[in-house]
Copies of this chain bind each other. A is one copy, B any other.
Amino acid sequence: MIRRLVLDIMKPHDPDVLVMTKRLSDISGVDGATTKLVEMDEQVQETRVTIEGDDLDLEQIQLVVEDLGGSIHSIDEVSCGDEVVEDLWVDN
């Protein structure tokens, strides 16, 4: 059971981060999604997306992201199990 995912997602400017975040939060099993803009140039936006739920389905998430013209660049964090283990460590 995947409980929490942090994804590094590259996407075009259009559709915007609102559309993507709404679509991700509508996936079955997702309690909520928060997207932060990391960087952008004229072509693409690099975003950091955090998704929480009871039983996340990465394939569904990937389908939504690709349907919007984006791609998952890396999985930066994942929490599985009966409880979400906190780890305050931050990469410097």
Contacts and interface: CB of A to CB of B under 8 A. Distances in A.
Tell me the number of copies of this protein: 7
A3 B22 CA distance: 10
Nearest to A79: B34
Main secondary structure, interface of A, reads strand
Given A24-B80, A48-B87, 16 more contacts: A2-B22, A3-B32, A6-B87, A17-B75, A18-B75, A21-B79, A31-B83, A33-B79, A34-B85, A34-B86, A36-B76, A37-B76, A50-B85, A50-B86, A50-B87, A89-B90
Interface of A: 1-4, 6, 16-18, 21-22, 24-25, 30-38, 40, 48, 50-52, 58, 74-87, 89-91
